Chains A and B, each alone.
Chain A
């Protein structure tokens, strides 16, 4: 059983709630019976050594695991009281409302403008596209740098800029929750810092769940931290507590760098 602390929801509903969630890849039990409550407008970090299941868990939250043939889910993930995995729920709609930023920037081979406009276009969002693109790029702290070259190829941008473009792209479909899978691990320190500042600002409007293998990053930017090990949730609570005063021995061993 995981050690879970009381999560202060501030009187609101949780943004996401994982209930007895398990993921199987074929025979392998990759995520084991995880229970996790994500409070709204907070940053939750998922940490743990390689292969502990944190990315797999993250991908449950927007049904990206559906794309893997051998993956099987048990338990459920509640979003505004509805189970994401209930029959009749369309994963396409889920993914519009719960967005994802990936580890390696993966812009489409299109222009900067078309990258950001892609999501709204396929989702039939008939808003003024120009305004939407601009506001998304502003929210991703990229507008100043690309305003005069929106028609350039996305590949002309640096790695850090491409990742912010991917964030802008995700924001353009107006999600409620942002899932980020090690968003800065492929970037240099300066670009990483920009991403971290961005996450801090985005928190005001969005709920963010971030997977990171960089403990200092988790300590810097997250409000709550969940420590996973070998598919199990070991401890979950306020970041400060997890890093300075964890209750579980394994948690302490990991955050003090004794393994992982």
Chain B
């Protein structure tokens, strides 16, 4: 009996391999597609508007008679919401991760983890509704000058939304720290607090920081919750009680309207989307770099 492969089988295997490769390659095509689509219109946009004005201008009024194309109000809106969200989610998420990884009994963990996953699964429109109908009125009770649409309410709900991102990834990082390290610290007469904060957390730091970066990136890319809660008024302000517009909200607003193709207003959509894309892409790459560069090797 010959040991050489049957021709038909080799052909079939080869064909299957190519089909599978093609499917994997789709992902590359998607990225290329995104870049191409954004780039084409963005380049066209910057042929009419100076990039300096775009990046440094403080007024965003593309549809007015007297057009202004400074993206800073939109950028600051996104940054303000993301920062506020981070202030909530990063500490709460990390402490949740520490609790679940180091302190919680298995039964407690088994009950709490699914609940947090549910938190992550709630659609953003629901968070937007919650912000508008519950959080904002609550804020107005304590601070009557809060506007109906404001950045604070959006920050709060986006913060809650990304808690699971931080806690889940940080917890994975904490649990990856081998028990041998904990034992070594306990053996030296350290308390649980000291073991957790001075040995385990520093050992898992790269994973924790990567989770922070990813969470903030998600907050920047968040759309419906901020569109509903934060408003549609581009506003370069540091006051979270005022109405603002984020980059994502502007994109949605533009799509709801009816803007003719080819106009400069139409192109702003792509310029803003490009900005958004570059920022989130940059952050995601940064988080992956942090993970790979500083990954602790446990012997």
Contact = CB atoms under 8 A, between A and B. Distances in A.
A and B: direct contact (Cβ < 8 Å)? yes
Contacts of A155: 297, 299
Nearest to A97: B189
B189 A108 contact: no
Given A95-B186, A95-B188, A118 B180 contact: no
Given A102-B180, A108-B199, A67 B299 contact: no
Interface string B165-198: 0000000000000101101111111110010001
A122 B198 contact: yes
Contacts of B105: 69
Interface in B173-232: 178, 180-181, 183-191, 194, 198-199, 202-203
A105 B178 CA distance: 12
Nearest to A179: B187
Interface residues of B, number: 22
B298 interface: yes
16 contacts: A64-B183, A92-B191, A95-B189, A95-B190, A97-B189, A106-B178, A108-B184, A109-B202, A109-B298, A118-B198, A118-B199, A122-B190, A155-B297, A155-B299, A169-B188, A173-B188
Interface of A: 62, 64, 67, 69, 92-97, 99-102, 104-110, 118-119, 122-123, 155, 162, 166, 169-170, 173
A102 B183 contact: yes
The B contact surface, by secondary structure, is helix
B189 A123 contact: yes
B296 A109 contact: yes
A122 B181 contact: no
B16 to A, nearest CB: 44
A99 B188 contact: yes
A102 B299 contact: no
Contacts of A69: 105
A76 B264 CA distance: 84
Contacts of A118: 185, 188, 190, 198-199
Given A106-B183, A108-B185, A92 B190 contact: yes
Nearest to A95: B189
The 7 closest A-B pairs by CB, nearest first: A96-B189, A119-B188, A100-B187, A106-B180, A95-B189, A106-B184, A122-B194
Interface in B69-111: 105
Contacts of A170: 187-188
Interface of B: 105, 178, 180-181, 183-191, 194, 198-199, 202-203, 296-299
Given A108-B203, A109-B203, A122-B191, A64 B181 contact: no
A210 B189 CA distance: 19
A169 B191 CA distance: 16
A212 to B, nearest CB: 18
Contacts of A109: 181, 202-203, 296-298
Contact of A110 (B178, B183, B190, B202): B202
A250 to B, nearest CB: 31
B206 to A, nearest CB: 11
A25 B235 CA distance: 64
A96 B180 CA distance: 18
A166 B183 contact: no
A155 B295 CA distance: 13
Contacts of A108: 181, 184-185, 199, 203
A100 B186 CA distance: 9
Given A95-B190, A96-B188, A155-B299, 19 more contacts: A92-B190, A93-B189, A95-B189, A97-B189, A99-B188, A102-B184, A102-B187, A104-B180, A106-B178, A107-B184, A107-B299, A109-B297, A109-B298, A110-B202, A119-B188, A122-B188, A122-B189, A122-B191, A123-B188
Nearest to A105: B299
Contacts of B202: 109-110
Contacts of B190: 92, 95, 118-119, 122-123
A102 B183 CA distance: 9
Of residues B190, B191, B202, which shows the largest number of chain A Cβ atoms within 10 Å of its Cβ?
Answer: B190
A56 to B, nearest CB: 14
Nearest to B194: A122
A145 to B, nearest CB: 18
